[in-house]
């Protein structure tokens, strides 16, 4: 059987799942409740007074949250959805990404409401080729009720796909060099980390600017940083995974740490923290400047952990 015939046969089998129930009379694991509403609003910065107080309602967009089964699932599942996903896995569509959702709100949910829902596999698309890879869009439709009264409808769509083959490694983006920061990058090319200094008031500044942000003076010279510093703050980049920043020379094939480094001279700069696993980076971690060559024409200043 050719690949095309195999895909056609799979497509016909997948179509048979349309209309099959994925959950029947599933029950929310928790009643609608004030703590979950509060956490939701705090996470999103939503200060709408309708979501607090004795007459509070739940934010409409929480509709899906009340039906989620967590890691252990819920009792109403029929197995059809797992069967569908297993068939896609077996065909090589082992990756998944949520693509979109649509919600209809029929009445507000209030603390104490206990939701019941039915979910149906509404549609399985024909085979599609995307930038991520080739696979199938799967849409489910969930109808939510309270005491038999419809309160909302939630459509959720995912793409189950076989990842596209990786091409040549993406080059690391180049810094933007202009007339205001050209001196800094010239210093980097010479393995020197140069800090601007206002010749009028002596204030050091970074990043480079055309004038002093303390006194407004336009004239400046430079001092060379010692390279000693500490991590003032940091973030760990998980998504989106970008090959140029997760290449083997970064020391890991996954997440990486970006630090706000406080130099011994008192200014701060953003750079990668290397020489230590990303989950070991901490505020106050001592670091030392190193110049790392990423390709034949790109060298960047990064900071290596001193205490490992």
Domain ranges of the chain: 3-163, 182-305
pLDDT value, residue 246 = 61
Tokens of 196: 């601007």
pLDDT value, residue 62 = 96
Specify the CATH number for 182-305; select among 3.40.50.150, 2.40.50.840, 3.40.50.10300, 1.10.443.10.
Answer: 2.40.50.840
pLDDT value, residue 122 = 97
pTM: 0.57
Inter-axis angle of helices 3-15 and 80-90, nearest 10: 170
- Give me the DSSP letters along 212-280: -TTT----EEEEE--SEEEEEEEEEE-SS--GGGSSGGGT-SS-EEEEEEEETTS-EEEEEEESS-GGG
pLDDT (tens place) for every residue of the chain, 308 residues total: 567 777 888 989 999 999 999 999 999 999 999 999 999 999 999 999 999 999 999 999 999 999 998 888 777 889 999 999 999 999 999 999 999 999 999 999 999 999 999 999 999 999 999 989 999 999 999 999 999 999 999 999 999 999 988 766 678 888 999 999 999 999 999 999 999 999 999 999 999 999 999 999 999 999 999 999 999 999 998 877 776 776 444 444 568 899 999 999 999 999 999 989 989 999 999 999 999 998 888 999 999 999 65
Tokens of 86: 């297993």
Nearest to 187 by CA among 223, 139, 234, 143: 223
CATH architecture label of 3-163: Roll (3.10)
SS3 33: coil
Is residue 59 within 8 A of residue 40, CB to CB? The reply is yes
């Amino acid at each position: 059987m050719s690949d095309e015939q195999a895909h056609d046969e799979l497509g016909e089998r997948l179509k048979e799942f349309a209309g099959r129930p994925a959950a029947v009379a599933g029950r929310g694991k928790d009643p609608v409740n004030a703590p979950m509403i509060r956490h939701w609003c705090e996470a999103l910065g939503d200060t709408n007074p309708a979501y607090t107080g004795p007459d509070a309602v739940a934010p409409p967009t929480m509709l899906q949250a009340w039906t989620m089964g967590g890691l252990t699932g819920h009792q109403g599942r029929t197995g059809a959805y797992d069967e569908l996903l297993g068939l896609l896995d077996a065909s090589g569509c082992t990756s998944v990404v949520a693509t979109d959702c649509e919600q209809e709100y029929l009445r507000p949910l209030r603390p104490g409401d206990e939701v019941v829902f039915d979910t149906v596999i509404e549609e399985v698309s024909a085979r599609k080729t995307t930038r991520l890879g080739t696979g199938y869009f799967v849409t489910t439709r969930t109808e939510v009720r309270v005491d038999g009264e419809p309160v909302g409808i939630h459509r959720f769509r995912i793409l189950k796909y076989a990842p596209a083959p990786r091409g040549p490694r993406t080059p690391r983006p180049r810094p933007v060099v202009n007339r205001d920061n050209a001196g800094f990058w010239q210093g980097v090319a010479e393995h020197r980390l140069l800090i601007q200094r206002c010749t009028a008031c002596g204030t050091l500044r970074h990043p480079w600017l055309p004038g002093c942000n303390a006194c407004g003076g336009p004239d400046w010279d430079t001092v060379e940083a010692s390279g000693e510093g500490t991590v003032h703050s940091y973030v760990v980049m998980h998504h989106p995974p970008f090959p140029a920043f997760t290449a083997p020379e970064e020391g890991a094939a996954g997440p990486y740490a970006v630090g706000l480094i406080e130099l011994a001279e008192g200014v701060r700069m953003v750079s990668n923290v290397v020489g230590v696993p990303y989950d070991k980076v901490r505020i106050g971690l001592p670091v030392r400047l190193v110049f790392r060559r990423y390709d034949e024409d790109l060298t960047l200043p990064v900071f290596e952990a001193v205490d490992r």
